[in-house]
Structure 1
Amino acid sequence: MPNIRKLDPTTSPMHHLGAELRRYREAAGLTQDQLGGKVYCTGSLIGQYETAKKIPTRRFTMQLDDTLGTGGALLRLLEMALCFQIPLGIKEYADLEDEASQKFVFEPTIVNGLLQTKDYARAVLGVLHKDRLEERLALRMSRQRTLERKRPLLLWAVFGEAALRQVVGGPEVMRNQLAHLLRFRDDKWVNIQVLPYTAGAHVGLTGAFTLFRFERGPDLAYSETYQAGLLTANSPDVTDLTLRYAHLQAAALSVRDSADLIARVMEERYGEQP
């Protein structure tokens, strides 16, 4: 069924791009399926571009321009849109995570949501706001299905050592959380590295960030403020964070040594819990 979600072009540059793509398609007298057939993709994918659920690549946008005879208007809109940071809600973030083939995350002080136990996640989500806590908790835990699908999300996570030592929810919750991380020790789809205190100054001191990669579509970078999550496909920004991530991986302990440190902290700091 065609995706005809109404867009407000003033909401964001990416929404404006989607609205213009729909306008050009309809002016050409084409359905989403018909346009998809001309550019060798599904009508559903055209619908996702038109509703700003996905970001097209530059090459694909050039194909759309050629097919629709826009004189390069869509590519110009894409170039402008990629320079902006796009506000992202938790539902949109979950959809993005579900579409991604690879995710690279750096968290200096907490365990990433995809690897959190339910009790740890409840403690994190309930620090300031307890309204709709169980609903928000259920959404966070449902996101972990990306690690269980037929072809799982390839997840690479670098945590600061503080994520192991900051007591969230109490010693028992922490022990169970670290034990949960150790379950991924031999998982080829989930790789966990710890950036130890001994690494000293590093390129992630300014805070957490995430990189997404897709089978089709540009790489995306995501970061958060206290007020909002911000997504960008701007190539210089993505390249900068990709370089930073490579440096963080190099400074962190290996996957095997990280697991050894997690196990040691679990025993020494949290001991045997009832």
Structure 2
Amino acid sequence: MSTATTTKDAGDLEFEAPRAGELAALLVSAERPPRPGAWSASLTFGWRAMLKIKHVPEQLFDVTAFPIMMVLMYTYLFGGAIAGSVDAYIQFLLPGILTMSVVMITMYTGVAVNNDISKGVFDRFRTLPIWRPAPMVGYLLGDVVRYLIASVVMLAVGLIIGYRPHGGPVGIVLGIAVLMVFSFAFSWIWTMFGLLLRTEKSVMGVSMMVIFPMTFLSNVFVDPRTMPGWLQAFVNNSPVTHVSTAVRELMAGNWPAADIAWSLGWSAVLVVVFGTVTMRLYNRK
């Protein structure tokens, strides 16, 4: 039994591979595009987060239907019992419930991060020649837009049912600005959990355990002076209480310098502590 083998010389091929020198010259002949800066890379990833909402509009449920439900439910359930009327209670409640709702929806940042990790997307990000924190910062910048949507929706509902901000447009803008800064900083906690925990359900479970005590044990619903002394000590020093008071007073036309300082101070601490831990986990994972 014999086998016939057909061979072709390299010279018989129609295509001849370029030599090493020619290939190197071809690669370096064109000018390389400049490396994107930190801000440019972060905005790109922020736009990516917004495109995900475009393709899955159901993600807007937590910044539209959920805030409306929170405002209406708490106003009409507790307004008469706590303040005597809905009109009186909405003046106190709306800035607080606005703070509470936005802080609560920050946990979805960690869920999104964990979801991308499970799909292997972050492995691709790590190979890119970009500022290393850009994917994380981009997530948070994209979510700030969601927080703004939730704020606008809640304010619109509040105005319809009787809320009147005496601080006018300036007070509203300043109050929302303080809330956005704190929410951006607070979201770093969930990016850490998104990297640390294995599943989305774990991230949501831990987030609920942290968020519910922080938001309910605050001055969102009632004045802390009606609480027991030991509880007042905790509530009066809660970061959510300082943010809620700052938003409430700014929208009322006042200037709560101490609460604004506390809110911005807490924001700086959260970014430094949890931002550092997040990036260490991101570099290791």
Coarse TM-score class (shorter-chain normalised): under 0.3
More helix as a share of residues = 2
Rg (Cα) greater in structure: 2
Higher strand share goes to which structure?
1
Q: Normalized against structure 2, the TM-score is what?
A: 0.24
